[in-house]
Structures are given as C-alpha cells and as structure tokens.
C-alpha cells in the first residue's frame, strides 16, 4: 500500500496513478487527519456493446502454479487451542402448568361437557 502526503501526491501524480492502475493501493494523508484511499476502476464498456462471454473468455486471467500439488513441507501442524466449555445453564422453573385442584370452584363446566357438539355429531356416527 502506497502512503503519501497531499504534497507528494501532487508532485508524483502520473507515477502514482500508474502504480494504482497496476493494482497497488494508495492512501493520501492530509494535514487535517483525513485519509483518502485511491483505487482504479476499469473503463466502462461502450453502451450497446456486450462483453465477450463463454468458454475461454477469461484465458490468461487465471493461472495455477506448477507445484500446486506439491506437499507443503514448511507448514508445521499446530494443534488447535482447546475451547473452554461453559457449564450448562440451569433450567428455568416450570410455570403455567396448573396443579390439580388449583381452579376448583373458579371454572364453570357445563353438565353436557362430555357430549359432542351438535355440529360434530354427523361426523361421529
């Protein structure tokens, strides 16, 4: 990442822009404390022109090293650090479950409660 002041960027602008176009990142530092990041965008395609797509359209953009499959000798396997497990949280008390006799005298149950509703009788026969 290139880091320059505003004065230096003004003196070396063509050189710095060529480096940014090549893929290098650039930060310009102002005296006020602001930091400006400069990046390059590819040119926009001409309206109506469609970019080439299909097999081989990315030829030359992607490459793989010849020794890609070679074993990695320099990498040392290090065991992963142990993760400290927390104890399980205590279960909250069970609420909302009525106890036997809790609502005695407060609920009014009709006498024909066990008989099916008239609308359901035809399905029960």
In the predicted model, what is the mean pLDDT of residues 111-124? 68
Q: How many CB atoms lie within 10 A of CB 16?
A: 19
- Break the chain down into helix, strand, coil percent, rounded to 5: 20, 10, 75
| CA distance from start to end of the chain | 84
Of the two residues 13 and 45, the one the predictor is more confident about is 13
Which alpha helices (H) appear in the chain, and where do they start and end?
6-11, 13-21, 118-124
Give pLDDT tens digits for 11-44: 999 999 999 998 888 999 999 999 999 988 888 7
In the predicted model, what is the mean pLDDT of residues 50-56? 78
| Residue 14 token pair | 């063509």
Distance CA 52, CA 2 (A): 33
């Amino acid at each position: 990442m290139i880091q320059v002041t505003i004065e230096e960027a003004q003196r070396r602008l063509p050189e710095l822009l060529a480096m940014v176009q090549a893929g290098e990142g650039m930060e310009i530092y102002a005296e006020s404390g602001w930091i400006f990041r400069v990046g390059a965008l590819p040119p926009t395609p001409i309206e109506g022109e469609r970019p080439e797509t299909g097999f081989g359209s990315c030829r030359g953009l992607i490459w793989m090293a010849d020794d890609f499959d070679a074993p990695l000798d320099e990498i040392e396997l290090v065991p992963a650090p142990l993760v400290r497990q927390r104890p399980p949280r205590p279960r909250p008390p069970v609420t909302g479950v009525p106890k036997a006799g809790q609502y005695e005298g407060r609920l009014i149950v009709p006498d024909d409660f066990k008989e099916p509703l008239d609308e359901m009788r035809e399905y029960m026969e």
